[in-house]
Homo-oligomer: A and B are copies of this chain.
Amino acid sequence: MARVSPPSFPTAEEINPDSTMFRHISDEIMLHGQCYDELRVLCKTIGNRISGSPKAAQAVVWGEKEMKAAGADKVWLQAADVPHWVRGKEELKLKYGKNGAYKKVPMLSLGSSEGTGGKILQAEVLMVANFDEFKTLSKEQVKGKIVFFNYRFRQDLINTFEAYGDAVKYRGAGPYVAAEKGAVGIIIRSMSTGEDDFPHTGSTHYYDSVKSIPSVAVGNYTADSLEKNCKKGIVIAQLQSNCTMMKDKVRSYNVIGEITGSVHPDEIILVGGHLDSWDVGEGANDDGAGVVQSMEVIRTFKALGIKPKRTIRAVLFINEENGLRGGFAYADSAKKNNEHHILAVETDAGGFAPRGFGMEMSPAQKQEILVYKNLFLPYGVYDFSQDEGGADISPLRKMDIPEMGLLPDPQRYFDIHHTNNDVFENVNHRELKLGSVVLTQLLYLVSEYGLK
């Protein structure tokens, strides 16, 4: 099939081999797609699956089986040794005012956080709005306190990922910043757009130079109430938690499947998401969606009898959430084996209706992709303005491999991200499938025409 310039305002009806194939791909997935049913199985029979856990091991087995069922020519596992963090039982109680009573509030320890070893850590809560305000405090003021970083997720930013980028430093660096001045723990306002009280977990980090202090997140309603009461008078927190990082790494695996290219088998186009999740909810949007969409790409090529000129490879990465060991293992192997990836595409931003693709590549390569832009319009994809790939594929950047990231509508993601509310019911069947459609369409074009 010859390369065809897409019409300026293509419609499904216009006769153009690419837009016709786009339509075939869409019809196949919207009418016969398996991704939604697969996601139901992943969420409801396995559920959440933090790296190193028995559930994560089950997910690897399931992924390998499903990848074969999708019709990949070759399926294999790629070893990665992953950290294993265990939450255990945990509880946060707050007492507002001298004469108040301790009251349990919804909370989640941050991922990789130290716990209190099962003991009650009791301390006064010191609220600060942000790091700038914290900088003005002396060590005396902070010592022995539990610091409450009350930084609000910016609801005014239309792109919620921009707001996440703005706020997430309180989750990542909060424990370190607070411990440096002698704090004994931190509470953060969750990275959350939710008008609710779901706490959001997610990775935090420690450094050898300072003490690792217990770190927890509360939902927006609890944070609002904490804010109000910290302004009024003394607030005492009692935190009791058992979370701990296990000493030994656990052997786990990326699940990989591919359709070997018919003309240029050595040119690999990767599409992937991550198999692990946090240990709450069902990891439905983060990133069960990406996992089942990646396998749907393989299934669709097979179902339509498309023999891609270049190799289509789907990768279900392990350990995106707290270590990226799957991503590193993949990149190491690609380098060692001198594999030639011409494009890596990640889907790890929720199973919502697609709106665009981020591109992390040279300006010339961007121009090659932008030639196709109008073909995607009938499928709701119009935004190619962002520089976004994905975490799992980021280790490939060192090898100068062009990256893209599926950009679904971002409005709902941070209501549920890393919470007990990230469940199958919060993924819509048509939105999820439409993401698979545009991923398959993109991979089809690059498999036909390459990317220089």
Residue ranges of A at the interface with B (Cβ–Cβ < 8 Å): 9, 26-27, 30-31, 36, 155-156, 158, 160, 193, 195, 353, 355, 377-380, 382-383, 385, 409, 411-412, 415, 428-431, 434
Contacts and interface: CB of A to CB of B under 8 A. Distances in A.
Contacts of A377: 383
B431 A26 contact: no
A386 B355 CA distance: 18
Contacts of A36: 195
A156 B430 CA distance: 10
Nearest to A160: B430
A42 to B, nearest CB: 17
16 contacts: A26-B156, A26-B158, A27-B156, A30-B158, A158-B379, A158-B434, A160-B430, A195-B429, A353-B409, A355-B380, A382-B383, A411-B428, A411-B434, A412-B431, A415-B428, A415-B430
Contacts of A409: 353, 380, 409
Copy tally for this chain in the complex stands at 2
A76 to B, nearest CB: 33
A430 to B, nearest CB: 4
Contacts of A193: 429-430
A355 B380 CA distance: 8
Contact of A382 (B26, B156, B382, B428): B382
A400 to B, nearest CB: 27
Nearest to A437: B158
A379 to B, nearest CB: 6
A35 to B, nearest CB: 12
Contacts of A379: 158
Given A36-B195, A380-B409, 9 more contacts: A9-B385, A27-B156, A155-B430, A160-B430, A382-B382, A411-B428, A411-B430, A412-B428, A412-B430
Contacts of A26: 156, 158
A162 to B, nearest CB: 10
Nearest to A413: B430
Contacts of A380: 158, 355, 409
Among A158, A377, A382, max chain B CB count under 10 A is at A158
A31 B411 contact: no
Contact of A378 (B9, B158, B355, B429): B158
B355 A156 contact: no
Contacts of A411: 353, 428, 430-431, 434
A40 to B, nearest CB: 10
Nearest to A381: B382
Ranked 7 nearest A-B pairs via Cβ: A411-B430, A382-B382, A27-B156, A411-B431, A30-B156, A30-B155, A353-B411
A160 B353 CA distance: 13
A374 to B, nearest CB: 12
A27 B428 CA distance: 28
A383 B26 CA distance: 20
A36 B412 CA distance: 14
Nearest to A12: B158
A353 B355 CA distance: 11
A26 B156 CA distance: 7
Contacts of A9: 385
A222 B2 CA distance: 47
Contacts of A195: 36, 429
